[in-house]
């Protein structure tokens, strides 16, 4: 999983969801699981 300074590029991909887990902002994508990232 990539640590990104900004998750905007991942958030704009189709099927991606922004989730908060343990105080981190995580982007997960069910349609294309390659696009995962976390911030913080």
Tens-digit pLDDT profile for residues 16-35: 999 999 999 999 999 998 98
pLDDT at 3 over 90: no
- Domain locations along the chain: 2-39
The whole-number pLDDT of residue 7 equals: 86
The whole-number pLDDT of residue 5 equals: 79
Please give, one letter per residue, the 3-state secondary structure of 1-40.
CEECCCCHHHHCCCCEEEEEECCEEEEEECCCCCCCEEEC
| pTM exceeding 0.95 | no
């Amino acid at each position: 999983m990539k640590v990104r300074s900004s998750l905007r590029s991942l958030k704009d991909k189709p099927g991606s969801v922004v989730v908060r887990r343990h105080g981190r902002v995580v982007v997960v994508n069910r349609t294309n699981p390659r696009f995962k990232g976390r911030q913080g």
